[in-house]
Chain A
Amino acid sequence: MESFEDLLETGPQRIALAESLDELEAVEGELIGKRSAVAETRRTLGTLPPEDRPVVGARLAAVTGQIQGMIATRREALQREAEDRLLREDAADLTLPLARQVRGSQHLITTIIDEVSDIFAALGYRVATGPEAETGWHNFDALNTPPTHPSRQENDTLYLDYGDPADEILLRTQTSPMQIRHMLANEPPVYVVVPGRTFRADTLDATHSPVFHQIEGLAVDTDISLGDLKGTLAHFAREFFGPGREIRLLPDFFPFTEPSAEMLVSCFNCEGGDPSCRVCRGAGWIELMGCGMVDPAVLSGVGYDPDVFSGFAFGVGVERLAMVRHGITHIRHFFENDVRVLEQFR
């Protein structure tokens, strides 16, 4: 048997030549295992003269430690190689669409309603919704629209065969009746937006549908003037269409506001310079919504004192907002539920 001192001569090479973990284990057994010279020396340590024992013992430990270190290093290297080999075999084309996550979509009308609601919620407005089948009183009379007003004619309003004919149950033509319900149920001041579904006796064409959506805004307080309306709508325009938008009011007529106006927003697409602009056709302005100062008759009708309170109201078409902003060409896209359309808007 060779002396354990020879280990340092032959050991390193044998360790380095071990090509697998099994081989390395065999080499380890031969070099420092139970039947190795090292083990034999350790076993016979007690037969040495007492004064030699510490010297030989220390030398034995040092040699064994060195060999163990070499084996550990070699083992790590072999393990790494083995894993590398396995991983190379495990390679895959991850671009194969095997685990694409599928998500549905939220309707664009919902998204716009949420967006506008959030703009006003952030200003301290509440969000309220109301009934779609309404009484003629809420939809018209209480909004200062007398029975002789043209919009009460059958060719604009869809009437329902329900209840007391005197109640004139109809599909609301605007979200404005919720102004009335909200004011009747709440004391002033009132700051609220009302998103919802509205109805007209319209045949479907590119911009008209018998069913559409509006968002109504109403603010009533002791000190609201026309400048507040302008500022609020300008804020909305900038939040919704981006900074830098300007607004303009042109006089208009609605029975329940006075003064009444149509609100225009400066074109976000061409800034007014392009006669072929898809959005404004060069006009530079986009008609967006009706608005105005709440008519005193409406306030007194719900028990608010028009000598103390004033307010503004506005109503914007949700489909109109969506069509203008996204360039949607026909209102039917909102109601056909073509998944190729739905999935464009998340």
Chain B
Amino acid sequence: MRISHRWLSEFIEVGDIEADRLGDLMSSLGHEVESIERLERPFENVVVGRVTAVGSHPDADRIRLCRVSDGADEVDVVCGAFNFEADAMIAFARPGAVLPGGFEIGTRTIRGVVSNGMICSESELGLGQEADGIWVLPDTAEIGADLAEALGYPDVIFDVAITPNRPDAMSVHGIARDLAAKLELPIVSPETRRVAAGQPSSVRIKIADARGAPRYVGQEVSEVKAGPSPLWMQARLSSAGLRPISNIVDITNYVMLELGQPLHAFDLDRVTDGTIEVRRARAGESLETLDGVTRELSTDDLMITDGGGVVALAGLMGGGESEVSGETTRVLIEAANFDAPTVMEASRRHGFRTEASARFERGVDPELPPVAAARATHLMEELAGGTAAAEAIDVYPEVIEPVSVELGSKLLRRILGDEVSIDLAAKLLVRLGMGVSGDDPLTVSVPTFRPDISRPIDLIEEVARLHGLDKFEELGARVGPSGGLTHEQRRLRRLRSLLAGAGLSEAYNLSFVGLDALSLLGLDPADDRMDPVRVTNPLREDQGALRTTLLPGLLASASFNVNRGASGVSLFEIGTVFFRRPSPLDPAIPDQPAHLGFIGVGGVGLSNLGSRERPSDGFSAVGIVELLSRELGIEGVNFTQVDEAPFHPGRAVAVTVAGVRIGIVGELHPAAARASELSGRVVAGELQLAPLVEVVTPWAFVEPSPFPPEIFDLSFDLPVGVASSDLRDTVRSAAGDLLESADVFDEYTGDGVAVGRKSLAVRVALRAADRTLTGDEVAPLRAAIAASVVDELGGELRGEL
């Protein structure tokens, strides 16, 4: 909300407080000042003038020669605009005037005629958009008045963010009231006009739904002359961000900004039968609101109706039919209290908000309507020539009483410490307009303009706020009894560090996936990754669902980097994926496990001179998993060749830990890579995170043997489908306890090996903990290993045993 310093000063003496300090005070009260705008005088020597005569220019028909009076003198001024005639009030820049941009006005000769100044348009004065013609001022403007002064310059505008719990602060007067409490200054009430009782109005008002409309005040004002509102009022509305419309409408808006009570003005002659009823809409009713939109109404919508049907959507916007116009002479001012949830729901239902609804949805003071109506009545008499002949009608079926809340010193001390005594709290609450009685606990009567206060803690907040949060002592850091990271959290950090150490950089992708991106993976339609949890109200189509796999995000990230010239990209991501099945944590929410994903494109390592670079390929994918399993002590990791989208049919392996599958790594199918504009071999993998971080590494120490190892190589001719890991595993189980290591170190196909066969060589190291192995011990083991490879894998030993 934009608050004018001058306007504020009408209610509270803050004239000698520097603007920055005043802004800081508002912020310290919880009304955060987001910006302070200093409105300096935009021009000098521009006054309100009156055109006394308009004549044609002797030598030109595109310009006219005018006589302009500034109240003292009358001079000739040449003007090129045609949107005014004699008697128009205008903005007159006298010779010597300086307009925005340093543009100086002098006496000039235009086509042979002397022009003593300039009649200005709004844009020339820096006040408005480029428009046809000059600025015609309202007739009420005072001739000779300094125009900058009449427009309220100079001023300071505070842009204040009002928190949703403070409807009372959504007005100039409300802010002034809070400042007055802080500064212990008196606050002035605005001038109002109340018509004495006994002069009944012809209008009849009925509330049929007291829950939706607890109170409705209607004030009839007659003999109104519609026209523009005075300059100062227009300027204030503009500085607050509202567009001036006409004196009647401007007055209702002005009072709303000033007091926080939204008002509506009906043309009383267009209110059928002069009756108003507040009720819910009936099925099938519709209303064309002032913005020209025809709105189909819900039976939950609270409506203002007259003898002919609906005329306004309560708290949001009036209808076109009863709108005030240039012909309006009788006005009905509506100052009502509408139920906050009712207005909020209507606003949501119809998809728009107004200045009025923004206030009603927070809860307007039910005591405000008569005050605001009297204020508007005063202004209509003063500024629109109106007469209030009849008393206001105030329908208030069930008076809303101030609530009473108790506050004791025990709770006060628990929340605020020793800084504020109960006595000081009482004084602070009184300054905020509360009625306080008792010593401890205090019994506090909360004014109706503070609907946010109903509990002791609400009073404590007020006490702390007014006292000033800066005054509370900063104690030491509050220390907990025990804490730190869990086993899993520590292992997760180690896992990240390992991956970074292996040359991968950590990526963070958004948690969304578009159905298009998912379909590019070529998954089986029955795969649960193809049925993601949808976002009900996505902002973009590619954010329409929650990711079921990290791969699309990683593909996009890799592609992003390649498109920006990166020759090789290696990324990993640890993030949540979502599935349409109940979470083990809470059956109400979807399952959302964390996954580890990675991608590699182009070379791994460096690509200069010595070329330590080697291409990313499926072997690097398995290498990453082996690194993790070795370094994190994950036992029982196995790989099984699989043919599954989106991976390469012959270069991907499922990863199992102790027989349970945790993911898949390998090379992506070229089609999936191409879909992300990637070429060459693209390495990727996706694993469940939990099995990697939940493992508890055994504590047992293995004493290194002081005895020498027995090392020998065996070479086998094997069917081509046998994986090196199969050979390694077979050797391991055949070798038994004496095995120290078994590493496949050579693969060969070609000359000397039959088609459909390959040769694999394995180096076996045996060692005993308590003795040097003898040839007699080793030979049978060597034979047993060979035999089991022959039997189990269909191998043939190459060479001698």
Contact = CB atoms under 8 A, between A and B. Distances in A.
Interface of A: 96-100, 102-107, 109-110, 114, 117, 120-121, 123-127, 131-135, 148-150, 153-154, 158-164, 167, 169, 171, 189, 191-192, 197, 199, 201-203, 209-211, 219, 221, 223-232, 234-236, 247-253, 258-262, 293, 295-296, 307, 310, 312, 334-340, 342-343, 346
B481 to A, nearest CB: 6
B610 A98 contact: yes
22 contacts: A97-B609, A98-B610, A103-B500, A106-B497, A125-B483, A126-B480, A131-B586, A132-B592, A133-B592, A158-B535, A160-B533, A162-B589, A169-B588, A171-B511, A230-B475, A250-B28, A251-B29, A252-B30, A253-B164, A259-B415, A337-B561, A339-B505
A228 B475 contact: yes
Interface in B707-755: none
Given A131-B583, A132-B592, A160-B546, A107 B508 contact: yes
A295 B503 CA distance: 47
Given A197-B575, A252-B163, A259-B460, 8 more contacts: A154-B536, A167-B588, A191-B483, A248-B470, A251-B30, A261-B469, A337-B508, A342-B505
Given A211-B511, A227-B473, A342-B507, A121 B485 contact: yes
B391 interface: no
A105 B500 contact: yes
A250 B32 contact: yes
Report which residue of B485, B505, B590 has the largest number of chain A beta carbons within 10 angstroms of its beta carbon. Answer: B505
B590 A169 contact: yes
Nearest to B410: A307
A94 to B, nearest CB: 12
A133 B535 contact: no
Q: Which label, helix, strand, loop or mixed, suits the secondary structure of the A interface?
A: mixed
Given A199-B511, A231-B477, A225 B414 contact: yes
B38 to A, nearest CB: 14
B772 to A, nearest CB: 38
Contact of B538 (A124, A158, A225): A158
Contacts of B345: 148
Contact of A223 (B414, B458, B609): B414
Contacts of A161: 533-536
A343 B533 contact: no
Interface residues of B, number: 100
Contacts of A248: 469-470
B48 interface: no
B414 A310 contact: yes
B165 A253 contact: yes
Identify the 9 closest CB pairs spanning chains A and B, nearest first. A191-B480, A251-B30, A124-B480, A235-B477, A253-B163, A98-B610, A337-B557, A231-B475, A225-B417
Contact of A259 (B465, B499, B605): B465
A224 to B, nearest CB: 6
B469 A259 contact: yes
Contact of B533 (A105, A133, A260): A133
B501 interface: yes
B588 A163 contact: yes
A167 B543 CA distance: 22
Contacts of A110: 496, 506
Contacts of B480: 123-126, 189, 191, 219
Interface string B689-723: 00000000000000000000000000000000000
B469 A250 contact: yes
B484 A335 contact: no
A210 B510 contact: yes
Contacts of A102: 503, 604-606
B29 A163 contact: no
Contacts of A149: 164
Given A98-B612, A131-B592, A109 B508 contact: yes
Given A210-B539, A225-B415, A296 B457 contact: yes
Contact of A228 (B478, B493, B575, B588): B478
B610 A227 contact: no
A100 B29 CA distance: 58
A227 B340 contact: no
Contact of B561 (A236, A250, A338): A338
A343 B481 contact: no
B801 to A, nearest CB: 42
Contacts of A159: 535-537
A225 B416 contact: yes
Nearest to B594: A129
A230 B474 contact: yes
